[in-house]
């Protein structure tokens, strides 16, 4: 679902909302009690907080752009089993910064990227497909997926998980890539019904692997349910 027009919210903590039932907020001075409970590094006086009911990959790739563009760091990435009854994850991502304006900027950049990173998510009542690509992975992708910093990096996601296995095989055969990881319902996901394959390599190879997997994924998920598989926003890869 597209983000609704944000209602007026006058709290200083509120930054904005975005697609996927996503909300972005900041805390200028984290209370010492909470600072301790969250085990935050002392150097972060401020945090930016983005959470979503639907979306993990789109949010992590968007967060990666935010850390590239701002003076902040990603201090926490957690993936609830959510998607509002679907097969996948929601997300909770926290940026740490010494200054609230940096935390706020990170949240703003991330919210602004989400329409793009939702572009290669394709859903139907039977499941969903997701593809993400970056020409240069940064710290959020490194933290979440072990992506090599500075390299081209991509992921293929299929739900139900069985489809994700075939997407991984298709990607691996389509181009010369290096595998980073393979996550399945009981290993590396939050019991989500997904297989996530992650890989780096030459920029052209990573994109080629994704294109091949996307083509196969649409045919397989399309065989399960007649709902047309259209981009959630606009394809970007």
Residues in 200-229 that interact with a copy of itself by CB under 8 A: 216, 219-220, 222-226
Which of 90, 96, 123, 154 binds a copy of itself (CB under 8 A)? It is 90
For the window 124-163, what string marks contact with a copy of itself as x by the rule CB under 8 A?
Answer: -xxx--------------------------------xxxx
Q: Within 10 Å of residue 212's Cβ, how many Cβ atoms?
A: 18
Note whether 190 and 90 are within 8 A (CB).
no
Which of 2, 71, 173, 204 binds a copy of itself (CB under 8 A)? It is 173
Tokens of 194: 């997904």
Least spacing, CB of residue 207 vs a copy of itself, in Å: 17
Q: Which is nearer to a copy of itself, 215 or 234 (CB)?
A: 215
* Backbone dihedral angles phi then psi of residue 90, each to the nearest 5 degrees: -95, -165
Q: Which is nearer to a copy of itself, 33 or 43 (CB)?
A: 33
Least spacing, CB of residue 127 vs a copy of itself, in Å: 6
Task: Please give the Cα distance from 119 to 146 (Å, whole number).
Answer: 23
Which of 45, 100, 112, 165 binds a copy of itself (CB under 8 A)? It is 165
Task: Please give the Cα distance from 59 to 53 (Å, whole number).
Answer: 11
Helix (H, G, I), strand (E, B) or coil at 30: coil
Q: Which is nearer to a copy of itself, 149 or 191 (CB)?
A: 191
Residues from 11 through 50 that contact a copy of itself (CB under 8 A): 11, 13-14, 17, 21-25, 27, 30-34, 36-38, 47, 49-50
Task: Please give the Cα distance from 74 to 189 (Å, whole number).
Answer: 19
Please return the burial class of 22, using the count of CB atoms within 10 Å of its CB with bins 0-12, 13-18 and 19+: buried
Q: Is 230 in the site for a copy of itself (CB under 8 A)?
A: no
Residue 94: cis peptide before it, omega within 30 degrees of 0: no
Q: Is 66 in the site for a copy of itself (CB under 8 A)?
A: no
Task: State the pairing for strand pair 127-134/152-159.
Answer: antiparallel
Note whether 125 and 95 are within 8 A (CB).
no
Which of 19, 44, 46, 52 binds a copy of itself (CB under 8 A)? It is 52
């Amino acid at each position: 679902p597209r983000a609704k027009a944000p209602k007026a919210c006058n709290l200083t903590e509120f930054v904005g909302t975005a697609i996927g039932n996503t909300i972005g907020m900041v805390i200028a001075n984290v209370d010492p009690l909470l600072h301790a409970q969250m085990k935050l590094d002392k150097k972060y006086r401020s945090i930016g907080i983005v959470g979503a009911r639907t979306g993990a990959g789109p949010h992590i790739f968007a967060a990666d752009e935010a850390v590239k563009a701002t003076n902040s760091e990603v201090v926490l990435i957690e993936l609830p089993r959510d998607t509002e009854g679907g097969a996948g994850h929601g997300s909770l991502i926290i940026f740490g910064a010494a200054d609230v304006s940096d935390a706020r900027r990170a949240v703003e950049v991330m919210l602004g990227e989400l329409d793009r990173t939702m572009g290669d998510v394709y859903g139907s009542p039977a499941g969903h497909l997701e593809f993400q690509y970056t020409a240069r992975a940064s710290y959020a992708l490194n933290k979440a997926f072990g992506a090599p910093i500075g390299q081209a990096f991509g992921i293929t996601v299929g739900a139900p998980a069985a489809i994700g296995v075939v997407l991984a095989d298709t990607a691996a055969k389509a181009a010369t890539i290096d595998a980073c990881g393979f996550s399945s319902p009981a290993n590396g996901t939050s019991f989500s019904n997904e297989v996530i394959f992650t890989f780096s390599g030459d920029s052209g190879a990573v994109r080629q692997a994704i294109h091949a997997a996307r083509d196969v994924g649409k045919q397989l998920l399309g065989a399960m349910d007649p709902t047309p598989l259209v981009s959630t926003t606009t394809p970007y890869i």
